[in-house]
Chains A and B, each alone.
Chain A
Amino acid sequence: MSLRAEIHDAIDEVTPPAPMLASRVGAYVLAEDRVVRRPRLGTWMRPLRGMAGVLAAALVVVLLAGLVLGGRLWRDWNSTVTRPMPINHTQLKALEARPLNLPLIDAGAACPAGPILESPSGSELGPLAYGDGVGPVYAQGTGPRYATGWGTYILTAYVVRPTFTGLILIRARDLQTNQVVVFAHNPLNKNYYGAIPNGDMAGTDFVLEHKVPKYTELALQTENMYRDLAGLWPVAVPLQGFSKGSSGCIGFQVDGTGFTEHFVVSY
């Protein structure tokens, strides 16, 4: 067998199909493009610009009227359409009410990082090679980092044991400075329904050329999270942000029904 054929086989063997990728990318690109690009009209279209403006304004009025008048219809229709399950706010408030139990350590002290669960055979942690935490939630915060004027964001993967379902609340602090860690959607992947930045809004920032709101908590809703390739482990990959001056020694508290989990990561 030639090297070319071997390489084809070796890579094809593990390359997942992505049949809808082109459509998704196309929709994303065109949607984003409409935001940033001001359409340039051809010469032959310029006389129509005024008329198009009037038509557009009329269309806006009609749409607004439709939205107002059709509110009830919209609500009724919406209730029958399959959509991501809304957060159970009663449950969320109960989780938020649990006291945050993260110790402060002296500046310059050794970061008490851990525990970490290794997955040497690749089966204990679903898609992760290792995970910070003791379960049922594990984190791996070694994704791409994005620096801004405010601080640094890290794409962090969270997985949840398939046996656990329900709402999960994640809060984090810098153990040396007590600064709050913020959470935000990955602006290039806004469709992670199951990972919801929540809590207090801590301003906005520009990450990957996108304006992203920052929040002080992250809620995971396992029913709506994406799954790993095996279709088992709920996976979410949000951004975690640390402001400038952070020591990088971060304590996490993860709360869910029937458990509270702590772990410390040294970034």
Chain B
Amino acid sequence: MEQVAGIDVLDMSGAASEHDFGDLLRPLIEPGFRLAFAMLHDPQAAEDVVQDASFTAWRKLARLDDPSRLRAWFLGVVANKCRNARRGRWRAAVNIGLPDELTVVSNEERSLQGADLRRAVARLNHDDRLVVVLYFYLDMPLDEVAAVVGTSVAATRARLYRSVRRLRPDVAVQEALK
């Protein structure tokens, strides 16, 4: 409820302060960065996206009609920025961090499996990857994932099923969704 109170204060005074930012958006920066990095695999691009998304969100905060949706709304802004960033083929170009090569060099089976999984996630299209990252990596409930993606819960569940099949064709979907 702190977020609700924070938005009310901001709306009434209109004064943007570090205190407001700390209350409202600061707790969302870290999950926003994790989402952006998981989507882009590029730390610099992820930071750019989070910074850009934060500014957009801050400017439009007053338009958020349901403050309890703040996290989903903010992550939705981050996801849109990620989509735009990928349209520019940035991720394909600058693999700062080079996760795949590093794991190959490490020659550890677990790392290789991780690299395989990252590649599989990276091959998903934007919307499929988004639901996978939100659900499995950010551990968000399905209804909140649906709010971020902007579709119904049923449609989100169907997309998640399809994505899991692509990631792990050999694993039962229900088993994977545990």
Contacts and interface: CB of A to CB of B under 8 A. Distances in A.
Contacts of A34: 16
Interface in A13-44: 13-16, 18, 21-22, 24-26, 28-30, 32-34, 36-37, 39-42
Nearest to A129: B95
Given A14-B41, A30-B16, A40-B13, A144 B54 contact: no
A142 B25 contact: no
B88 A143 contact: yes
Interface string B10-41: 00111111100110011001100110011001
A237 interface: yes
B114 A9 contact: yes
Nearest to A157: B94
Interface stretch (A54-62, A84-92, A109-117, A120-128): A120-128
Contact of A189 (B26, B48, B92, B98): B48
A97 to B, nearest CB: 32
Interface string B106-137: 00001101110110010000000000110011
A3 B167 contact: yes
Contacts of A21: 29-30, 33, 47, 50
Contacts of B15: 39-42
Contact of A22 (B30, B85, B95): B30
Given A21-B47, A36-B59, A155 B14 contact: no
Contacts of B87: 144
